[in-house]
């Protein structure tokens, strides 16, 4: 993928150097097991633990109160490797490409400026307006603050665990999350969130699949126009993206994790669906081609 000559985005918040340790202060939870066991033994202690658990999931680390000078997450300074910095530069360039593509589309289609999202680079864990998150969640978009969150370590997981290496596979992931930002701008995320409140879990999962497949399609639309504008594609790039889409399909992930597939539990779509909708956006290059909600068959 050609990206080194691309414009860099100004909308990247690099928080990699502030790496939160899970339990604050560099301490291990094992150090507090005697205190925890004592609290479990009393009614008041159990209430304290319950309140502490709630506080933790709201973004405050209660164990830090037991460590002088520490509040909430501890911040362990981490030296970024040259490879890590190169990846960060790549992400900044790809985000700039998405801004250029969607900026042109918004002006042509709607006659207004594209409201650009910000992208937060983090390591291990991060606090967002949507709550506290760890790297295990993978990349995500938070509609409450209009930000994409990305731990660069996910790219290693994409290559090693999922067998989907390559820079364009990584660009597909970024473009997919930017697709969720578009859905937020268009009001899709809010409408589906409201609708899922009235649906069963199975029905809500099916609706979420349509959300994710539309984001895949928007990623394809981006690639279509980025190729027209900047000639970014090199031999094998499209195959990298398709391999990534296939590798993170629900059926593939379920087979790897449990050996069988439960379609009612799908939340992102099957490998075949994710490939098909990305290709749909790539080939047609229009927002209208990405209406997964009207599509009778996904």
Q: pLDDT digit string (tens) for 205-218?
A: 999 999 999 999 99
Claim to verify: residue 115 and residue 141 sit in the same structural domain? yes
- What pLDDT is stored for residue 55 in this prediction? 55
6, part of any domain: no
User: Given 33, 50, 77, which residue is the final one in a domain?
Assistant: 77
* 68 backbone dihedrals φ, ψ, rounded to 5°: -55, 135
Claim to verify: residue 213 and residue 272 sit in the same structural domain? yes
Cα-trace Rg, the chain: 21
Which helix (H) or strand (E) is 122 found in, with range? strand 118-122
29, part of any domain: yes
User: Given 77, 109, 125, which residue is the final one in a domain?
Assistant: 77
What distance separates the 2 farthest-apart alpha carbons in the chain?
67
Claim to verify: residue 187 and residue 283 sit in the same structural domain? yes
- What pLDDT is stored for residue 35 in this prediction? 59
179, part of any domain: yes
Claim to verify: residue 69 and residue 98 sit in the same structural domain? no
For 137-166, the pLDDT digits (tens) are 999 999 999 999 999 999 999 999 999 999
Claim to verify: residue 51 and residue 95 sit in the same structural domain? no
Residues 212-231 have a mean pLDDT of 98
Residues 256-280 have a mean pLDDT of 97
Q: Is the pLDDT of residue 6 over 80?
A: yes
Claim to verify: residue 159 and residue 280 sit in the same structural domain? yes
- What pLDDT is stored for residue 40 in this prediction? 65
- What pLDDT is stored for residue 26 in this prediction? 41
Claim to verify: residue 174 and residue 31 sit in the same structural domain? no
CB-count burial class (<10 Å; 0-12, 13-18, 19+) for 298: middle
- What pLDDT is stored for residue 19 in this prediction? 60
151, part of any domain: yes
Claim to verify: residue 200 and residue 252 sit in the same structural domain? yes
15, part of any domain: no
Claim to verify: residue 116 and residue 220 sit in the same structural domain? yes
Claim to verify: residue 121 and residue 147 sit in the same structural domain? yes
101, part of any domain: yes
Q: Which domain holds residue 58?
A: 21-77
Claim to verify: residue 157 and residue 268 sit in the same structural domain? yes
9, part of any domain: no
Claim to verify: residue 154 and residue 252 sit in the same structural domain? yes
**Beta strands at 140-142 and 118-122: parallel, antiparallel or unpaired:** unpaired
User: Given 77, 94, 110, which residue is the final one in a domain?
Assistant: 77
Q: Which of 61-75, 83-97, 113-127, 269-283 has the lowest mean pLDDT?
A: 61-75
Task: Provide the number of structural domains found in the chain.
Answer: 2
For 39-48, the pLDDT digits (tens) are 666 766 666 6
242, part of any domain: yes
């Amino acid at each position: 993928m050609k990206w080194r000559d691309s414009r860099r985005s100004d909308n990247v918040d690099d928080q990699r150097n502030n790496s939160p340790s899970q339990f604050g202060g560099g301490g291990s939870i094992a150090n507090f097991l005697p205190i925890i066991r004592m609290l479990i033994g009393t009614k008041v202690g159990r209430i304290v633990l319950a309140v502490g658990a709630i506080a933790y999931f709201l973004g405050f680390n209660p164990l830090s109160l037991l460590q002088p000078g520490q509040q909430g997450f501890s911040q362990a300074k981490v030296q970024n490797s040259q490879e890590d910095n190169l990846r960060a530069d790549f992400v900044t360039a790809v985000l700039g490409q998405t801004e250029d593509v969607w900026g042109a589309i918004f002006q042509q289609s709607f006659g207004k400026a594209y409201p650009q999202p910000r992208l937060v680079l983090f390591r291990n864990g991060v606090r967002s307006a949507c709550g506290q998150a760890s790297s295990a969640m993978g990349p995500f978009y938070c509609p409450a603050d209009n930000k994409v969150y990305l731990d660069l370590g996910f790219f290693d997981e994409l290559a090693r665990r999922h067998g989907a290496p390559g820079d364009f596979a990584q660009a597909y992931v970024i473009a997919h999350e930017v697709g969720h930002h578009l859905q937020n701008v268009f009001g899709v995320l809010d409408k589906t969130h409201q609708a899922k409140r009235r649906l069963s879990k199975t029905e809500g999962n099916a609706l979420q699949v349509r959300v994710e497949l539309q984001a895949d399609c928007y990623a394809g639309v981006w690639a279509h126009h980025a190729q027209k504008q900047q000639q970014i594609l090199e031999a094998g790039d499209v195959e990298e993206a398709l391999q990534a889409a296939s590798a993170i399909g629900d059926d593939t992930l379920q087979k790897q994790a449990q050996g069988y597939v439960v379609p009612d539990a799908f939340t992102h779509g099957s490998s075949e669906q994710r490939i098909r909708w990305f290709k749909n956006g790539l080939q047609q290059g229009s927002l209208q081609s990405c209406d997964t909600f009207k599509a009778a068959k996904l």
